[in-house]
Amino acid sequence: MKTILELQNVTKYYSSGSIVTKALDGISFSMEPGEFVAVMGASGSGKSTLLNVIATIDQISSGDICMTGTHLQDMKEADLSAFRRDQLGFIFQEYNLLDTLTIEENITLPLHLKRLPLKETQEALQHVSKVLGIADQLKKFPWELSGGQRQRAACARAIITSPALVLADEPTGALDSKNSKTLMETFQMMNQSLKSTILMVTHDPVVGSHANRVLFLRDGKIWSEVHQGDRSRKELYREILTVSAALGGDMDVF
């Protein structure tokens, strides 16, 4: 099976005056098509830095990141914008929908930026909106939708270009438990029905238990890893709690 993402010995330093911090320390892992991987760890463990270097927002200090055959650190700045647009989908804590555009216009904006033909744009729109349950909301504006519907619209926008990888940074961080549950159900639909490959950073064991695999970071290194396998989500959740307790830090363990 072709690898979507591969990191080899990735290290990232930040400097502030004479102070140098190693945010990532020899990170190595890979992702296959259709995987749903969560990254967990205490504050300062390197979770957001890891997402940023994969998103090409930050450059690595050493090592290699290869996505769909492209070595990211070798790309020129002029090519990075097109790479992010075509190969990556982003889901944020907030919906980041434009209030002056309809839901249809919000979702299809990435395809218009790619100058995709109208027929192909409409076909892609109908497909993702049907799967995510918002096909009857497309003519409305974001402020006319419930929080859960806005979340699904934001997810539809992230995956309408069929990106190689969807990156989600604490997607439930600003949500209550009900909307958090709705969002994770949407993520599972994206992963199972639309075959989206997802890498998600979270501090919440409940959210992490929706993934197929969980990587735990500590001091910029991969400290542990757990897989769902044939276990139920409840069993995976319990193991996440066990590993989180052993890991320590300020994760929401109990």
**pLDDT at residue 251, as a whole number:** 53
User: Which residues are CB-neighbours of 21 under 8 A, at least 6 positions away?
Assistant: 13, 14, 15
In a domain, 137, yes or no: no
Is it the case that residue 253 has pLDDT exceeding 50? Answer: no
Say if pTM beats, i.e. exceeds, 0.85.
yes
CATH of the domain at 29: 3.40.50.300
Q: What is the pLDDT of residue 250?
A: 52
Domain membership flag for residue 138: no
Task: List alpha helices for 66-217, DSSP H.
Answer: 77-87, 103-113, 118-131, 147-159, 177-192, 205-208
Kindly report, residue by residue over 16-34, the tens digit of the pLDDT. Answer: 888 889 999 999 999 999 9
Q: Give yes or no for residue 207 having a pLDDT over 70.
A: yes
Is 108 within a domain?
no
Q: Assess if residue 85 is contained within a domain.
A: yes
More confident residue, 20 or 215: 215
How many domains does the chain divide into?
1
CA-closest candidate to residue 60, choices 87, 29, 32, 27: 27
Range of the structural domain that residue 13 is part of = 5-95+159-247
Residue 172 located in a structural domain: yes
- In this structure, the number of other CB atoms found within 10 A of the CB of residue 12 comes to 22
Checking if the pLDDT of 246 tops 90, the result is no
In a domain, 148, yes or no: no
Q: Cα–Cα distance between 122 and 127 in angstroms, integer?
A: 9
User: Is 144 part of any domain?
Assistant: no
* Residue 250: other Cβ atoms inside 10 A: 11
Task: Identify whether 118 is part of a domain.
Answer: no
Residue 254's pLDDT is: 37
Rounded CA gap, 238 and 79, in Å?
43
End-to-end CA distance of the chain: 38
pLDDT in tens, 114-156: 888 999 999 999 999 998 889 999 999 999 998 778 888 999 9
